[in-house]
């Protein structure tokens, strides 16, 4: 069997990290190594990981001063030794057969570079669903196994020999989109990413409206800085004519995704005031920020 490396980046979320690690340690297959990259935590993160290391020798811990998403994921890649590199986040819980399902797809599709799956909210509040619908509804568990252009590092694994010496783009520490840009380069280079909707990871997106809106503003800033690049002509148009973002054009795409299933359609309707508010905050950020 091929060796498995799991990379989890974390910062000041030790309780969520512990739950995430428990779900990974509960897999039917043992990972060759579980790599925790601590991006400058000041809480009990190190204590939690060190306590787990006493029982699980495959857990590795690396600390760095706060450098952001890209640098932290790249350190994980540098430290990994496995044949298959799994990524998830510290605020996620992976299903019990996460390893098994992804490895089976790699066996079935030996030429794919990456395999990933669905993302669902961990809690079912209106705020959680609003955040999910705006940011992760592309990966709702529906449809057939298929090739896609992007899957977040919330739920994806890469065959290391196929990504070669690639690294996540060097972005400022407060900017994300690094995983989508990484996948964008893979696709440009003729690589394939396989999506299996039955492979599920549960993602905690919070229950605070303040944090929800703050996160949407951050995503608007990320889009303005670099995220537009993966959206082709539409992305360029929304950067060149910024005021268009005030009309929340993304909502048409989100709506189209949600009407495909009854459950998502109902969630969209129930959460629409929050969804509209969050998307407007994102658009307002794009209009007001300067880069």
Domain co-membership, 24 together with 93:
yes
In this predicted structure, what is the pLDDT of residue 164?
85
Q: What is the mean pLDDT of residues 122-141?
A: 95
Considering the domain boundaries, does residue 129 fall inside one? no
| Domain end position, chosen among 170, 186, 203 | 203
* Nearest residue to 217 (alpha-carbon basis) of 284, 282, 286, 125: 282
Domain co-membership, 196 together with 99:
yes
* Nearest residue to 146 (alpha-carbon basis) of 112, 189, 188: 112
Count up the domains in the chain and report the number: 2
pLDDT tens per residue across span 170-210: 999 999 999 999 999 999 999 999 999 999 999 998 779 99
Q: How is 163-196 classified by DSSP, letter by letter? A: HTT-------TT---HHHHHHHHHHHTT--EEEE
Domain co-membership, 45 together with 171:
yes
Domain co-membership, 99 together with 41:
yes
Range of the domain at 56: 4-123+146-203
Domain co-membership, 55 together with 178:
yes
Q: What is the mean pLDDT of residues 229-253?
A: 95
Considering the domain boundaries, does residue 137 fall inside one? no
CATH code for the domain of 46? 3.90.550.10
Domain co-membership, 192 together with 249:
no
Considering the domain boundaries, does residue 130 fall inside one? no
Interior/surface letters 98-135, b for 16+ CB within 10 angstroms, e for the rest: bbebbbebbeeeeebbbbbbbbbbbeebbbbbbbbbbb
Domain co-membership, 96 together with 163:
yes
Q: What is the mean pLDDT of residues 250-273?
A: 96
The angle subtended at Cα 109 by Cα 23 and Cα 106, nearest 5°, is 25
Domain co-membership, 213 together with 74:
no
Q: Are strands 156-159 and 114-121 parallel, antiparallel or unpaired?
A: antiparallel
Place of tokens 């959460």: 271
Domain co-membership, 119 together with 231:
no
Domain co-membership, 167 together with 234:
no
pLDDT tens per residue across span 43-89: 999 999 999 999 999 999 999 999 999 999 999 999 999 999 999 99
In whole angstroms, what is the distance from residue 282 CA to residue 54 CA?
Answer: 44
Considering the domain boundaries, does residue 105 fall inside one? yes
Q: What is the mean pLDDT of residues 120-142?
A: 95
In this predicted structure, what is the pLDDT of residue 138?
96
């Amino acid at each position: 069997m091929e060796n498995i490396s799991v990379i989890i980046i974390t910062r000041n979320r030790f309780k969520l990290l512990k739950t995430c690690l428990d779900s990974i340690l509960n897999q039917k297959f043992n990972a060759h190594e579980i790599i925790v990259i601590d991006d400058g935590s000041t809480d009990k993160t190190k204590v939690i990981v060190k306590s787990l290391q006493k029982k699980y020798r495959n857990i590795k811990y690396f600390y760095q001063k706060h450098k952001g998403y890209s640098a932290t994921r790249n350190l994980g890649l540098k430290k990994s030794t496995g044949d298959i590199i799994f990524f998830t986040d510290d605020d996620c819980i992976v299903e019990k057969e996460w390893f098994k399902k992804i490895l089976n797809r790699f066996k079935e599709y030996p030429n794919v570079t990456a395999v990933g799956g669905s993302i669902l909210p961990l809690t079912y509040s209106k705020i959680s669903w609003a955040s999910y619908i705006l940011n992760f509804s592309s990966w709702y568990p529906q449809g057939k196994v298929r090739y896609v252009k992007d899957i977040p590092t919330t739920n994806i694994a890469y065959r290391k020999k196929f990504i070669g010496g690639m690294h996540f783009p060097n972005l400022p520490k407060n900017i994300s989109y690094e995983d989508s840009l990484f996948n964008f380069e893979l696709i440009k280079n003729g690589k394939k990413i396989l999506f299996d909707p039955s492979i599920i990871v549960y993602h905690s997106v919070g229950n605070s409206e303040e944090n929800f809106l703050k996160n949407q503003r951050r995503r608007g800033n990320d889009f303005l800085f670099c995220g537009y690049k993966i959206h082709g002509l539409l992305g360029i148009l929304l950067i060149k004519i910024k005021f268009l973002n005030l009309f929340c054009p993304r909502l048409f795409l989100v709506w189209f995704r949600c009407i495909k299933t009854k459950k998502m359609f109902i969630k969209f309707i129930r959460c629409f005031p929050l969804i509209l508010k969050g998307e407007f905050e994102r658009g307002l950020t794009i209009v007001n920020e300067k880069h």
